[in-house]
Amino acid sequence: GNSVTQMEGPVTLSEEAFLTINCTYTATGYPSLFWYVQYPGEGLQLLLKATKADDKGSNKGFEATYRKETTSFHLEKGSVQVSDSAVYFCALLYNQGGKLIFGQGTELSVKP
């Protein structure tokens, strides 16, 4: 079936460090891929998305490229800030009923 696997957290980085959060997926057909962010005590917010192979989604300095050959959608940021501390969820959306499938989430903690 369709599924999403993320790297386990928590991930702890110093401010201005480079961030990579790995995400791989299993899906039939051609899903759309998303990254959501959840700040403490809040709901999920859409961070970026890609709807077809080789698309690059970007927002707030974060980027992710839809790699069909490796079934991956890794999240990257060149220089993290303390305000980026949050839980990040990778998700895929497939045709049947428009249901998002989430990974387990990766907690990021950025220290000054």
Partner 1 sequence: NAGVTQTPKFRVLKTGQSMTLLCAQDMNHEYMYWYRQDPGMGLRLIHYSVGEGTTAKGEVPDGYNVSRLKKQNFLLGLESAAPSQTSVYFCASSIGQRSPYGYTFGSGTRLTVV
Query: Cα separation of 76 and 63, whole Å?
Result: 5
With respect to partner 1, which residue has the nearer C-beta, 97 or 112?
Answer: 97
Question: Phi, psi (5° rounding) for residue 84?
Answer: -85, -5
With respect to partner 1, which residue has the nearer C-beta, 1 or 112?
Answer: 1
Minimum separation from the CB atom of position 112 to partner 1 (A): 26
The set of residues, in sequence order, having a beta carbon less than 8 Å from that of 62 and lying 6+ positions away, is 35, 47, 48, 75, 76, 77
Site membership for partner 1, residue 25 (CB under 8 A): no
Site membership for partner 1, residue 23 (CB under 8 A): no
Minimum separation from the CB atom of position 15 to partner 1 (A): 26
CA dihedral of 105, 106, 111, 112, whole degrees rounded to 10: -70
Give the residues lining the site for partner 1 (CB under 8 A): 4, 32, 34, 36, 42-46, 49, 51, 89, 91, 93, 95, 97-100, 102-105
